[in-house]
């Protein structure tokens, strides 16, 4: 069989703009989603695009936002923390446990001055985070499983401390931060904004933040660069636990009560916020900026669906579909990048 030779005349034409756009897919897609949703709801409902409602939306995503800051660190390292909501709940309950409650609340609590209660609550969240860190780095349990166990442990602590009751009191200044407002602006939004900003600064401008990206981008290379990978992983688990703790304390104040299973929705919400925002589940790509956009997408979606007449059962499905779409984009964006890398 004699065949003519294969022959090719080839010139490369990878349009630079197209290439750039593709590289930015994970940043552009969430932003476009946010815009589209905002426009959609504004058109569909006159009560959506008002200043009051904007304040509502921000308030609704604040607790999720605080929790999501720590989770962003963890996911950037290509790990996961499934215990965030549970730790938030436990920390909130520990805070209430060390605060004087009304006589009608029948739990064996130990009233302490407000500052002491807050310190103890933060220490509690740190301690639980340290257990996560120990399991992940020293014993070597995958974070997925380790934090799943911690989710249970946190729930157990909640159950033991409140024994099915509801505690209503938290220290005054926490109550203000969680529920008060300066002028039109709720305090909790200010706190969330400050913590998000802090997270952004740490991730972008500090050495620790750089290491977080490096460990997530290529763990083996980080190790070969002499970075103490285990230390970084332990640190992000602690950061995550403390953020959850703060979110939990403010959340309890915001809701006006501390009880079991109060934060159950926050696990999925905070993970969604990070992933919808475009931070890579494979680590190393994304950041707090993405998380902020993700939070707003979720906030606008949840709030907007309340403003339009939709079967409330359908809402759950719609949220699920949006999350699925975000996951698809997330993985697809990753694949585009890996393919470019393989071409080397």
Partner 1 sequence: MAALAGVDFTLAKGEIHGLVGENGAGKSTLMNIIAGVHPEYEGTMRINGAVVKFRSIRDSLAAGIGMVHQELSIVPELSVAENVLLGVQPTNRLGLIDWKAMYREAEAQLSRLGIRVDPRAPIGRLPLGLQQLVELARVLFSGARIVILDEPTSALSPPEVDVLFSLLRRVRDSGRSIIFISHFLDDILHVSDTITIFRNGRRIATAPARDIDKAWIIERMIGAGHRELEESYTGEIMLNSRPDAQVVLTAEGLAAIGAFRDVSLQVRAGEVLGIYGFLGSGQLELARALFGKLPIAAGTLRIDGRAARLRSTAAARRAGIAFVPESRRSMLFAQEPVYKNVSVSILDRISRLWVRPSAEREIARQHVGRLQIRPPRVERRLNTLSGGNQQKVALAKWLTHLPRVLVLSEPTRGMDVGAKDDVMTIVRSLRAQGIGVVVVSTEPETVLSLADRILVMKRGTITREFANEVVSKDRLLAAA
Closer residue to ligand ATP in complex, CB, 20/224: 20
335 is a contact residue toward ligand ATP (CB under 6 A): no
140 is a contact residue toward partner 1 (CB under 8 A): no
What is the contact mask toward partner 1 in residues 20 to 59, using x (rule: CB under 8 A)? ---x------------------------------------
**Binding residues for ligand ATP, total number by CB under 6 A:** 2
How many residues belong to the chain?
A: 344
Which of positions 182-221 make contact with partner 1 (CB under 8 A)?
Answer: 205-207, 209-211, 213-214, 217-218, 220-221
Yes or no: say if 262 and 89 are a contact pair by the CB < 8 Å rule: yes
Phi, psi of 258 (to 5 degrees): -125, 120
List of long-range contacts for 151-155, beta carbons under 8 Å, 24+ apart:
151/82, 151/83, 151/85, 151/86, 151/267, 152/86, 153/83, 153/86, 153/128, 154/83, 154/86, 154/87, 154/89, 154/90, 154/128, 155/86, 155/89, 155/90, 155/260, 155/261
Q: What separation in angstroms does the CA of 253 have from each of 90, 93, 150, 170, 303?
A: 14, 11, 24, 6, 21
339 is a contact residue toward ligand ATP (CB under 6 A): no
**Window of 2-10, 107-115, 119-127, 148-156 that interacts with partner 1 by CB under 8 A:** 2-10
Q: Is the dihedral of CA 251, 29, 71, 314 positive or negative?
A: positive
Q: Which residues of 30-67 are buried (b: 16+ CB within 10 A; e: fewer)?
A: bbebbeebbeebbeebeebeeeebeeebbbbbbbbbbb
The one among 140, 164, 183, 226 contacting partner 1 by CB under 8 A: 226
The one among 123, 227, 308, 323 contacting partner 1 by CB under 8 A: 227
List CB contacts of 230: < 8 A, sequence separation 6 or more: 137, 138
Q: What is the distance between the alpha carbons of residues 105 and 13, in angstroms, rounded to a whole number?
A: 72
Q: Which two tokens stand for residue 265?
A: 């929705």
17 is a contact residue toward partner 1 (CB under 8 A): no
**Window of 11-19, 25-33, 239-247, 271-279 that interacts with partner 1 by CB under 8 A:** 11-19
Name the minimum Å distance from CB 125 to ligand ATP: 44
340 is a contact residue toward ligand ATP (CB under 6 A): yes
Name the minimum Å distance from CB 311 to ligand ATP: 47
Which entry of ligand ATP, partner 1, none binds 215, CB below 5 to 8 A by partner kind?
A: none
342 is a contact residue toward partner 1 (CB under 8 A): yes
CA 276 from centre of chain:
10
The one among 223, 315, 322, 332 contacting partner 1 by CB under 8 A: 223
Name the minimum Å distance from CB 214 to ligand ATP: 21
Q: What is the distance between the alpha carbons of residues 126 and 74, in angstroms, rounded to a whole number?
A: 15
338 is a contact residue toward ligand ATP (CB under 6 A): no
Name the minimum Å distance from CB 207 to partner 1: 5
Name the minimum Å distance from CB 334 to ligand ATP: 16
What are the beta bridge partners of residue 181? 186
Site residues (CB under 6 A) for ligand ATP?
Answer: 340, 343
**Which residues would be at the binding site for partner 1 (CB under 8 A)?**
1-15, 18, 23, 205-207, 209-211, 213-214, 217-218, 220-231, 284-285, 337, 339-344
């Amino acid at each position: 069989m004699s065949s003519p030779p294969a022959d090719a005349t080839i010139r490369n034409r990878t349009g630079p703009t197209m290439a750039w756009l593709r590289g930015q897919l994970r940043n552009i897609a969430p932003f476009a989603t946010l815009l589209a949703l905002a426009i959609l709801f504004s058109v569909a409902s006159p009560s959506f695009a008002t200043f009051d409602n904007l304040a509502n939306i921000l308030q609704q995503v604040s607790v999720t936002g605080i929790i999501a800051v720590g989770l962003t660190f963890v996911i950037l390292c290509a790990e996961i923390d499934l215990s965030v909501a549970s730790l938030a709940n436990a920390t909130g309950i520990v805070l209430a446990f060390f605060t004087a409650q009304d006589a009608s609340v029948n739990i064996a609590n130990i009233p302490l001055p407000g500052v002491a209660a807050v310190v103890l609550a933060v220490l509690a969240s740190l301690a639980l985070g340290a257990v996560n860190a120990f399991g992940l780095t020293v014993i070597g349990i995958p974070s997925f499983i380790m934090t799943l166990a911690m989710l249970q442990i946190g729930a157990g602590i909640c159950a033991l401390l409140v024994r099915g009751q509801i505690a209503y009191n938290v220290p005054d200044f926490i109550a203000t931060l969680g529920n008060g407002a300066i002028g039109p602006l709720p305090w909790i939004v200010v706190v969330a904004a400050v913590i998000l900003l802090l997270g952004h600064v740490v991730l972008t401008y500090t050495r620790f933040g750089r290491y977080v990206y490096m460990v997530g981008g290529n763990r083996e290379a980080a190790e070969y660069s002499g970075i103490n990978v285990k230390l970084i992983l332990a640190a992000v688990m602690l950061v995550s636990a403390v953020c959850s703790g703060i979110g939990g304390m403010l959340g309890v104040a915001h809701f006006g009560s501390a009880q079991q299973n109060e934060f159950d929705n926050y696990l999925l919400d905070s993970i969604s916020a990070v992933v919808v925002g475009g931070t890579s589940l494979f680590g190393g790509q994304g950041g707090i900026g993405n998380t902020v956009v993700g939070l707003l997408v979720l906030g606008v979606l949840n709030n907007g669906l309340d403003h339009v007449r939709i079967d409330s059962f359908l809402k759950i499905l719609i949220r699920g579909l949006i999350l699925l779409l975000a996951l698809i984009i997330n993985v697809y964006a990753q694949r585009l990048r890996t393919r470019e890398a393989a071409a080397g």
